[in-house]
Chain A
Amino acid sequence: DTGVSQNPRHKITKRGQNVTFRCDPISEHNRLYWYRQTLGQGPEFLTYFQNEAQLEKSRLLSDRFSAERPKGSFSTLEIQRTEQGDSAMYLCASSIALGFSGNTIYFGEGSWLTVV
């Protein structure tokens, strides 16, 4: 299967610890997105990359959050000094830029974070 892959799928961590999630996009997709979703809500945009460049960051992405996409392939999302409010599902998605709007964005299965 060549869909968007996320690891780990589940993570339980103690408050104050750092966590890192990895996303492998669909091969040849040059855009990569991170979203966060809490129970009963729709996904909220966090940040997105085109190739290795991080082009936009939401105000939701505090200083404790950092995302990278070295070499424009996989991406990592790190949360430092986790807080209970960080508990959510973190979704990665990718798409291919074809020079016009209306590109389908494909999502991974998400990474669940529980901060205790």
Chain B
Amino acid sequence: SQQGEEDPQALSIQEGENATMNCSYKTSINNLQWYRQNSGRGLVHLILIRSNEREKHSGRLRVTLDTSKKSSSLLITASRAADTASYFCATERMDSSYKLIFGSGTRLLVRP
């Protein structure tokens, strides 16, 4: 069963704009990870945020985590056409055996 739900399901922006994707989950977690997937390809790990962290940065990526609201957001600043992909959040639940449970993803289109 899916643990996380991303919002929006699809997002279309102009190159240079910022893109924000949200993820909500249901149970307590150890950590939350964001992945990117180009069409027909495997998943690329972007960033991991632990349950005791509130914000992390990596290059143009900024991730926040609010465990009280069971939600996370991924911000991509100054987007590029090459950022066009599907983005998934995945959670490692506290009762989990180290597996990740994925949401259904946000499809991002960055128009040049």
- Which residues of A approach B to under 8 Å, CB–CB? 4, 31, 33, 35, 40-45, 48, 55-56, 89, 91, 93, 95, 97, 101-110, 112
Shortest distance from the beta carbon of A78 to any chain B beta carbon, whole Å: 20
Known: A31-B98, A56-B97, A95-B98. A105 touches B45 (CB 8 A): yes
Known: A45-B101, A48-B97. A102 touches B30 (CB 8 A): yes
Contact check: which of A42, A106, A109 meets B103 at CB < 8 Å? A42
Do residues A102 and B2 form an inter-chain contact, with CB atoms below 8 A?
no
B2 to A, closest residue via Cβ: A42
Total chain B interface residues with beta-carbon distance under 8 A: 26
Do residues B30 and A56 form an inter-chain contact, with CB atoms below 8 A?
no
Mark contacts of B90-112 with chain A using CB atoms, 8 A cut-off: 1 yes-contact digit, 0 otherwise. Answer: 10100001111111110000000
Do residues B45 and A106 form an inter-chain contact, with CB atoms below 8 A?
yes
- Which residues of B approach A to under 8 Å, CB–CB? 2, 4, 30-31, 33, 35, 40-45, 48, 50, 88, 90, 92, 97-105
Do residues B97 and A102 form an inter-chain contact, with CB atoms below 8 A?
no
Known: A101-B31, A102-B48, A102-B92. A43 touches B102 (CB 8 A): yes
Which residues from A are CB-within-8-Å of B99?
A: 33, 45, 48, 56
